[in-house]
A = this chain, B = another copy of it.
Amino acid sequence: MTGSSSRPRLALQGEKSYEWAKSRMKIIDRIVKDFSRPKALPLEGIRLGICLHITKETSVLVMALKALGAELALCSANPLSIQNDIVCFLKNQEVQLFATRGESYKQYNECMLKVIRFRPDIVTDDGAELHFMVHRFWDNKIGAGTEETTSGVTRLKELESKGHLKYPVIAVNNAQTKYLFDNRHGTGQSTVDGLMRTTSVFLPGKHIVVCGYGWVGKGVASRLRGMGAIITVTEIDPIRALEAHMEGYEVCTMISACSYADIFITCTGANKIIGKEHIDIMKDGVILCNAGHFDFEIDLDYLKSQDQAPKEIRPNIQLFSINGKRVYLLASGRVINLVGAEGHPPEVMALSFANQLMSIIYLAKKLDSLESRVYDVPAHIDRRVSEYALNAFGINLEYSTDRSFSI
């Protein structure tokens, strides 16, 4: 899409995107101001290795970290989500950045290695790929980390339970101000956005199956219903199934839903939620789409085994012909909100990244005093982020909370 654009033009576009996102992310601005007040910058001399989706919102976090004194190296959490204008802009800002949109798996790994060779003190990751690579190439230089996603935290906790975790990691995902808003409302909106941008399909009256009713599923179901769709939820957890039922969603098995559903969206974090046994009995013209972090929720191997040469209908729509039936796969089964749209809106990323920012400052201070465990975001940081947010949205609490605050 950007083939013929020259780099300076892209960098200029990137700067504008950065400015636009920044104007929507006042929380970050405010934190930078509050923590720059004393003479010493809190991240002076700290080296950061960052693996996040390279979006306009990430550029706001990166520039904030720089402003607080950090030196940093950056790679991408997903080769398909890289925004080239942001890459150019950040390079112009003298950020060490290793990422090219559409890079191969090998290049992608190479980029992560470059970030490790940068010898960061703290590693920030989205999905735990970088954390795992660090563990493989461990050289006891790295002091701490943060992790953005549910999937990543799950993987790190497994590592911890086996006694293999080699440095303290803050599970940013577990902050209330992260998962209550980012996972639910951020993914909810951006998944609807991704679905509409990719397909421009009409939502009112469509039967849409939301697989999984965690925070992501809750957000996606709620927003799609708000757009007029008729939602069915599938779940394996009985309490969540009951929650969905009482919110007025149809709850049934995948097999039952296949007979009538127009669209499926996976939100489980689990493997092959949509498999052969489902695809074989779906309706002609069905649309498959994934809102989870990894691309394994839909059985891509089965699809490819049935049609070796799927037709690319539009960008991010592949048509598989399976026994005379048309099955449309969106974004190659990758996360639809990032690949098919722009990821979470800036206002909600501001909440997640405020947790990242304050967690990194916290870690920088405590580098030597924490154990090699997966920590929750400290409660006082979580609460403080919510206060910054209310302030940015112009909302007054019933009682003012003028407590003094320090990380």
Give the B-binding residues of A (Cβ under 8 A): 1, 3-4, 13, 16-17, 19-20, 23-24, 176-177, 180-181, 185-186, 188-190, 192-193, 196-197, 200-205, 223, 225-230, 234-239, 241-243, 245-254, 256, 285, 311-314, 317, 326, 341-342, 344-348, 382-383, 386-387, 389-390, 393, 395-399, 401
Q: In the docked arrangement, what's the CA distance between A234 and B16, Å? A: 33
- Is the CB–CB distance between A230 and B204 below 8 Å? no
User: What is the copy number of this chain in the assembly?
Assistant: 4
Shortest distance from the beta carbon of A217 to any chain B beta carbon, whole Å? 12
- Is the CB–CB distance between B204 and A248 below 8 Å? yes
Q: In the docked arrangement, what's the CA distance between A223 and B225, Å? A: 10
Interface centre among A228, A311, A326, A387 (most CB of B within 10 A): A228
Q: In the docked arrangement, what's the CA distance between A180 and B186, Å? A: 23
Shortest distance from the beta carbon of A190 to any chain B beta carbon, whole Å? 8
Other contacts beyond A180-B239, A226-B228, A245-B390: 10, CB < 8 A: A4-B4, A181-B242, A185-B246, A189-B228, A201-B346, A204-B248, A205-B246, A225-B226, A251-B395, A253-B396
Shortest distance from the beta carbon of A225 to any chain B beta carbon, whole Å? 7
Chain B residues closer than 8 Å to A395, beta-carbon distance = 241-242, 245, 251-252
Q: In the docked arrangement, what's the CA distance between A274 and B111, Å? A: 50
- Is the CB–CB distance between A228 and B185 below 8 Å? yes
Shortest distance from the beta carbon of A402 to any chain B beta carbon, whole Å? 12
- Is the CB–CB distance between B241 and A346 below 8 Å? no
Q: In the docked arrangement, what's the CA distance between A242 and B204, Å? A: 10
- Is the CB–CB distance between A253 and B341 below 8 Å? no
Q: In the docked arrangement, what's the CA distance between A246 and B178, Å? A: 13
Chain B residues closer than 8 Å to A180, beta-carbon distance = 239, 242-243
Interface centre among A197, A201, A395 (most CB of B within 10 A): A395
- Is the CB–CB distance between B248 and A229 below 8 Å? yes
Chain B residues closer than 8 Å to A204, beta-carbon distance = 185, 189, 245-248
Shortest distance from the beta carbon of A313 to any chain B beta carbon, whole Å? 5
Interface centre among A203, A237, A238, A241 (most CB of B within 10 A): A238
Q: In the docked arrangement, what's the CA distance between A120 and B13, Å? A: 45
Q: In the docked arrangement, what's the CA distance between A84 and B252, Å? A: 41
- Is the CB–CB distance between B223 and A227 below 8 Å? yes
